[in-house]
Amino acid sequence: MKIWFQDEARVGQKGTLTRIWAEKGTRPRAPRDTGYTSAYIFGAACPQTAQTAALVMPHANCEAMNAHLEEISKAVAPQAHAIVVCDRAGWHLSANKLNLPDNISLLPLPAYAPELNPMENVWEYLRKNKLAITTW
């Protein structure tokens, strides 16, 4: 039995501003895009085994969640079972639309409790360090 934490984050073309080194008295350049297109990063991690599974999807819906669960299922060790901790988003708990792999069970968090999901810290780190001042 392995515990996995799952969440998704929306990222857009408008990069987040952050602090960077620049010569005193100068204004550093920061690329910005005026578009409004966005994507969703679905990510999951198992702290016990240091395994991860992630997908970039155009929408956050049941189809994207099914693809993500399949990706997690592939990362779970053979003969192991994964308990995937997730929030209560509508596409996480749609029992009639989700295709749960045999080696995965979902464990929903209490409502309005994002602090209980460590994946929230991953999104904060990525937005501040890797996705900041970036356009694509």
* 129 or 109, which is more confident: 109
Q: Where are the domains of the chain?
A: 1-9+45-136
SS (H, E, C) 34-103: CCCCEEEEEEEEECCCCEEEEEEECCCCHHHHHHHHHHHHHHCCCCCCEEEEECCCCCCCCCCCCCCCCC
Q: What is the pLDDT of residues 7-59, one digit of tens each?
A: 999 887 665 666 677 888 887 776 666 667 788 999 999 999 999 999 999 99
* pLDDT value, residue 65: 95
The per-residue pLDDT for range 53-93, each reduced to its tens digit, is 999 999 999 999 999 999 999 999 889 999 999 998 888 88
